[in-house]
Amino acid sequence: MAIAKRIFLFLAVNFLVVLTLSIILSIFNIRPYLNAYGINYPSLMIFCLVWGMGGALISLSMSRMMAKMMMGVQIISPTTKDSNLKNLVDTVYDMARAANLVHMPEVGIFQSPEPNAFATGPTKKRSLVAVSTGLLHRMSQKELEGVIAHEISHIENGDMVTMTLIQGVVNAFVMFMARALAYVVSGLGNKKDNSSSGSYAGYAILVFLFEVVFMILGSIVVASFSRFREFRADKGGATLAGREKMIAALESLRSMQGMRDPRVDKPSFESMKISSVKKSGWMALFASHPPLEDRIARLKQGI
């Protein structure tokens, strides 16, 4: 049933991408220009969908392995003799059972003074929950349960797959619009001789520039959903562990916000954190996580 649901979701998203692009072409009357310039837009659309979605799906399939490599995650055996590590595994398993997960996630730990935790993996069956040594050593059991419940909620909601689909849609949209507009602006298809390197060089530069612009706009969409899923995971974590524990976990993270690890304090690692540095002004549009203050307030209000 889960596989059928994922296939349906994948096909539905691709259908919506095609429909959205077709509507955009019609509203802005771009289609006649593409035809006039010799662009086969259905073929271009299919190419961009396959390339954009394909790249996102490959990233998803490798997410657990890449997380282990990038963060230096050490997988913890369920039979470990270390009492702290054993407690961590038991806590993850308890929350997973509370969420009715059939398959227990892998549990890992990585060296970092920054209090941090993340969940990743291509499917619920092949998921990973990892925490930093900084979080494990500084948080109480009550706070730890709140953090783990949040991460298990991500797995329960299928957030990794959903984020992949959204990123794939953005990739496809960016590739299509950048190439279509670059082709029209450069006048490549309207020239009798397109064999010159200058014609294609100009086109390639325009594609790059348009991709940068559209990727920036697309990043706002991806970040917006990322913030939504964090609120949803907080709510799910409150259901699994209890609202007080979820609030306690977030308040603990807020009190330790000054503890940053330069190795992982980079934009490429933001998705692998339970919280991130607060962004102000227009930069808040690109934040992958809502401010901890807002998350705590929502939980206290029962939203």
CA 250 – CA 256 distance, rounded (Å): 10
The answer to whether 109 touches 136, Cβ cutoff 8 Å, is yes
CA 102 – CA 165 distance, rounded (Å): 24
**β 128-132/106-110 pair status:** parallel
Contacts of 196 by beta carbon, 8 Å cutoff, 6+ apart = none
Q: Give the count of alpha carbons within 13 A of 170, CB side only.
A: 22
Task: State the catalytic residue, choosing from 151, 156, 230, 270.
Answer: 151
DSSP states along 244-269: HHHHHHHHHHHHTTT---TTT-SGGG
Burial of 70 (0-12, 13-18, 19+ CB in 10 A): middle
Residue 270 is classified by DSSP as G
Q: What residues pair up with 106 in beta bridges, in sequence order?
A: 128
CA 39 – CA 275 distance, rounded (Å): 44
CB atoms within 10 A of CB 214: 18
Write out the two tokens for 51.
């390339």
Among this protein's residues, is 151 annotated catalytic?
Answer: yes
Report CA-CA distances (Å) from 256 to 138, 252, 261, 286.
Answer: 9, 6, 12, 23
Contacts of 283 by beta carbon, 8 Å cutoff, 6+ apart = none
Which residues participate in catalysis according to the annotation? 151
